[in-house]
Each structure stands twice: as C-alpha cells, then as structure tokens.
Structure 1
Amino acid sequence: MKNLSDLFEQNIKQKRIVITGGTTGIGKAIADLMISLGGRVLIFGRDHEDFNNAVADIKSNFPDAAIYGTPADITHNDDVEKIWELVDQNLGGIDILINNAALAADGITECDWKEWKYIVDTNVSGYITFAQQAVLRMTPQKSGHIINIGSMSAETNSPESTVYVATKAALRGFSTALRREINSKGIKVSLIEPGAVTSDMQPGTKEEHQQKIEKLEMLEAEDIAMSVLFCLAQPKRCDIVTMQIRPHLQTI
C-alpha cells in the first residue's frame, strides 16, 4: 500500500481547487486542509468581512499559501461569471470542485416565497451551475472531482425545515444522476452528507455547540474536511460515491 503522504501529494498538491462557501464553517475548514497540503485554492462567500477574515487567517497560518477569491453571491449571475474568470486567470482551470455554499431554511409555513426561492437558488441552482462550469473545464483534461456537501436532512425529513430538506433531497438525486452522466469523462462525483456540525446554521451559541461536541452529539467542521480528504485521496480506480458522517450519539 502506498504511503498516505504520497497519496496526498499526488491528489492534493498543486491541484486547482474551488470551494463555494469557502469563507466560514465547513468550507473554511476544507480550505485550510487543502492549503496545508499544497493545494491552490479559490474561495468565495457573499459576506465581505467573512471573506477578508478567511483570507487573512489562511495567509497568517500558511504564508506561502496559493489562495485566491473574492466576495460573491452564488445566486447572482454576474458574481458567478466573475468567479469563473478568476478561476481561469489565477488557477488556469480546475481539478477539484467542493460544492458547499448553502443556507438553512425553515418550513413553508415559516417563510414567504421570496425567502425560500433564495434558499433554493443557493442550495440547488448554485450547486448545478458550478458543477456545469466545472465539467466544461474538466472534460477536455479527462479528469476532475466534484464533491457535493449535502446533509443528513435528506434522510431525516425534519418537519421544522421543509425547504432545507427539499434542497438536500434534490442534491442527493442530482449527485447520483450527475455521476452517471459524467463518470465516463473521467470525472468523479462524491456526495458527503454530514449530521449535526457546528456552524452558523445550527441553533444555539458557540458555547452550547462546544458542549455538544464534548458530549459526542455534534461534529466539528474539521471532521467534514477530513472526510473530503479521504474521498480525494483515493486512487483513480476508486470512487467514494456517498459518505454519511454523524456524531457518535446522534441517532438518525
């Protein structure tokens, strides 16, 4: 068996990586890990302060980091075009797409159509749009890997978050069909579905989240980053198609 460090170097080092929603939470944890292993990473998020803080933190921890990006909203066509212009200019293409940008949502009785339409545009249309643009660039090179970050909500079907459940169920179906559509082109597709993970999307304070982590009732963002790394570290012949990660004491 190959040394794990060799697999990381082969599959991460100098790879051109785009992370949607890469400025906070799971996305930021993935960016940190990819940068630490020598990846060339482009991130974006809709909040300017979060973007600036994320880039400053990465450069502080990894002075030689190849980190790129800009504040952008995945639902705005002009912003999407701007991101892909940066990808082409700064990275010269893409090897890995981490589709991660998503928002929480309540049930249909708790929000109006404008709110849930924005959620659907972010959680579903955003994933499809970025996957399409990635595939256009990956096809000529006959290689690439798309990882969609979903949620166990697609399975739990919580009545308190109907709209969010709908988006994550859609992502589960999209990931399955997308793999069938493009794996003959040499492009891998993986779906990672976390359970409860500490983030701004979770109710409660940071202190309450930490207590749940210590009680094994909640995951940390770094746990999902490690799961992404596992998917990316596989040899060309091996696809991790679906991965579910749950806190030890979260019963689903």
Structure 2
Amino acid sequence: MNIQDLLPQSVSGKNVLVTGGTTGIGRAIVLLLASQGANVVFFGHEEQHLKDALADILPIAKGKLFGFVADCGTEDGIADVFKQVDEKLEHLDILVNNAAIGFGNATDVSYNDLQHVLNINLLSYLACCGGAITRMEKNGSGHIVNIGSLSAQVREATGSVYVATKAAIRAYSEALRKEVNKHGIKVSLIEPGAVDTDMQQKPTEEKLKKVENEEMLQATDIAAAVLYCLSQPKRCDVIELKIRPHLQLI
C-alpha cells in the first residue's frame, strides 16, 4: 500500500495561519508545513525571533511564506493578524493556534499579570478561531488545530494559572467542534507533555539530556502530529491527540 493512500489530504497549496510561529513548537510547525508546500502566514512577538525563523524556513519553503511581528494578547494585535491574512492569502484553509506563555501559581502576582496570560493563552485562541471560522464558512471547509497541553489533565501544583488556561482550551475545543461541524470545519486538539522549548525554563544541556533519556519531546514531534491531523481523509476527524515522552509518567 502506498503511504499516501493513508494520508490523502496534502497540505500543498493550502493556506495556513500559525500563531506563535517564530519559536519552539510553532516554528517547527511552520517549517514542516512550508516544506510540504503550504502557504503559511505566521507571527511572533519579537523581531529577532522572526528573523531567525525566516532564516531557517525560507530556504526549504515550497509555498508562499509571510512572517511578521504581532501581539495576539491585544484586540489591535488580533485585528492586525487577520489584516495580514486577508492581504497575503486569498482564503484561509487551516488555523494552528499555538501561541502561549508559561505561568506559575495565582499567588504573589498582579491582576495585570493574570490578565496578560489569559489574553495570550485563552482569549487569543478564541479570537483567532472566530476570525478563522468567518473566513472558512465561506468555503464550506477548514481545519482548526488547537495546541493544548497535558497539563489540562495532570493539573500539576506548580502552575495552576497555566493549567487553568489549558483546561479551558480543552473544553472550548470540544464545544467548538460541535458548533462548526455543520460548516465542514474540523477541530483537532493536540495535547503535548514536556517539550524541549523555551517555555521549559531549564538549561539547554539539561533539556537535551532529557530528550536523550526519553523524558522530553522535541518540537518536531508535535509538528509531525499536526501534519498527521491535517493529512487525514475528509471522512476522518482526529479530534484529540495526546503525546507525552515515553518516560514522562503522567
């Protein structure tokens, strides 16, 4: 059997928006989808990260690639994101909601700190889904991939605020799938365990050792999962995918 018979939906020529696409998991997703011929619009919040990402991705991109700086934690930032989408892409086929920041517990932090993490980790997902759906409805098809976290279920004591945002993404994805199913729009939730990214505030050598010891994933593992979800036949919805390192016993 040809492997393409099992992955019939190519992303080549598809128009994609990836949030938080300049570092970590987001960058790996942009790189993989662009290498497969997708037209990708992506953004991050720091200019240097954007330059580094473009330097990595442009040489292997087989489709159109557009990167920019935006703050998805603000209403104006979200408006700018979709302004860029409408200017660069004729329509939108795929949204990968990935932008997020780590955060600890609820004590000893200001209200503004809490508002900031909620804006990025939760409200940006909702706002980007809303913007994407209004565009996808016109075509009668689309695919939204929300990157969540196994923290939504593990609910570790060391990050209650982060846990709250990821638990909300889990519930939202389940309800959203039922809401947009009639419009031909798919919704997939991917929940990774520990991944070697900047969000893991450990020394680089320690993280590399954990990857080697099968205690931590690489960002490319999550990118491959996204491509798997997007490549399934139209009849098949991957609604939930959990990925953890072999020796992260959660």
TM-score by length of 2: 0.96
Q: Distance in 2 between matches of 1:7 and 1:217?
A: 29
Deviation at 1:6, TM superposition (A): 8.5
Q: How many residues get paired?
A: 250
Which residue in 2 is equivalent to 1:232? 230
Which residue in 2 is equivalent to 1:80? 78
After superposition, what is the alpha-carbon deviation per residue over 1:122-146, rounded to whole angstroms, capped at 9, x for unaligned?
Answer: 0000000000000000001110000
Deviation at 1:70, TM superposition (A): 1.0
The one-letter amino acid of 2:138's match is P
Give the one of 182, 202, 207 matched to 1:209: 207
Contact kept in structure 2, 1:41 and 1:67, CA below 8 Å? yes
Q: Distance in 1 between matches of 2:153 and 2:46?
A: 30
Deviation at 1:110, TM superposition (A): 3.9
After superposition, what is the alpha-carbon deviation per residue over 1:91-148, rounded to whole angstroms, capped at 9, x for unaligned?
Answer: 1121000000000000011422211110011000000000000000000111000000
TM-score by length of 1: 0.95
Which residue in 1 is equivalent to 2:4? 4
Which residue in 2 is equivalent to 1:25? 24
Structure 2: runs of 5 or more not aligned: none
Alignment of 1:43-82 (within 5 A): 43-62=42-61, 64-82=62-80
Alignment of 1:34-183 (within 5 A): 34-62=33-61, 64-183=62-181
Q: Distance in 1 between matches of 2:104 and 2:75?
A: 25
Partner SS state of residue 197, structure 1: coil
- Runs of 4+ in structure 1 off by over 3 angstroms are 5-8
Higher relative contact order (CA 8 A, sep 6+): 2
Contact kept in structure 2, 1:59 and 1:65, CA below 8 Å? no
| Distance change (3 Å), C-alpha of 1:23 and 1:5 | farther
Contact kept in structure 2, 1:152 and 1:195, CA below 8 Å? yes
Q: Distance in 2 between matches of 1:89 and 1:141?
A: 17
After superposition, what is the alpha-carbon deviation per residue over 1:19-68, rounded to whole angstroms, capped at 9, x for unaligned?
Answer: 00000000000001001100000110111110121112211344x54111
Q: Distance in 1 between matches of 2:166 and 2:144?
A: 16
